[in-house]
Amino acid sequence: AAATGSPPRPAWCCKIVVQAEMLHPDFPIVSKILGDSNANIEHLRSQHACQVALRGRGSGQQEADGQELQEPMFLWIASDNVQNGKAALEMSQDLLGSVYEEHQAWCTQHGLPNQMKSGPLVVENPEG
């Protein structure tokens, strides 16, 4: 039976805080995460049958109120299947690892310091 009102909370969800503010502001973080024509996000969605969105400050993703969510940029993953969600999380962490490596190379190429000292911050089943 279809639920009425607000959508039910998925069985599993996760926020991966990108830590974009530690990356150089000229580095194209959003396009690197999303991929050409959203290819990276679509691949995650189709491979693991889950919801994936880049949200938060600087993401370009507008919420229901027409504004970006005023918290640090993060990848949101939600799934009705815990295993699918965790597989998408693993793939997302690989993607972000590649993006951070690209950022390191980009900084070196441009003679800039790399402020990135750690990887993404993962919060499974966050409140709210």
* Prediction pTM value: 0.88
Q: Which amino acid is at 93?
A: Q
pLDDT score, position 49: 93
* DSSP state for residue 47 in the 8-state scheme: H
Task: Output the six-digit token pair for 37.
Answer: 């024509």
pLDDT tens across the length of the chain (128 residues): 444 555 677 899 999 999 999 999 999 999 999 999 999 999 999 999 999 999 999 999 999 999 999 999 999 999 999 999 999 999 999 999 999 999 999 999 999 988 777 888 999 888 75
Which DSSP string corresponds to 34-62? Answer: H-GGGHHHHHHHHHHT-EEEEESTTS---
Q: What are phi and psi of 27, to 5 degrees?
A: -75, 130
